[in-house]
Chains A and B, each alone.
Chain A
């Protein structure tokens, strides 16, 4: 079954404690991206990757890092989380300009 898998789905953490949200896709897609969703603001792109070792900033990259060492994985790293990073995060993948396939979302709370 074609899917995008994110982990963890839910996480409560404290300010400054590094965390990683993993994302994996099994569709051999070149393109992967991370979004955050906040009330009234819609989906905002954090980072995206066109292929292995190729990443670029989206609209709201501050406070986040990503890596793309393998085609299937695109982890999102919060080196020092802050409360303003409390949000619902989605990972997505697609073939070039094809439809995006989204993961189930990761709800993060930073206290």
Chain B
């Protein structure tokens, strides 16, 4: 099946810093989503971005499908940005629809 690798696994930053999280995937995808998992376990949708670039406030994401990677940018970090960020992809599977395959996540800690 499709493989998803996220880097870095852990990231500790001071409030106000910028960060870039990376997601590499092993095959063509028809769905790529970025999530933020809060301390209570809720997965919060950030972006649906199988290709192209999107921005939402301090967050933006870019997926280069031909090179099989996606980047999530967080600018002017706040302590509430802390948590685990997951990249999840869905590959083409001959007409069927498998579920999302998740990476292991990036654990982000923003210190005041």
Question: Do A and B interact with each other, yes or no?
Answer: no
Where the two chains meet, the residues of B that have a C-beta atom closer than 8 Å to any C-beta of A are: none
Q: Which residues of A contact B (CB under 8 A)?
A: none
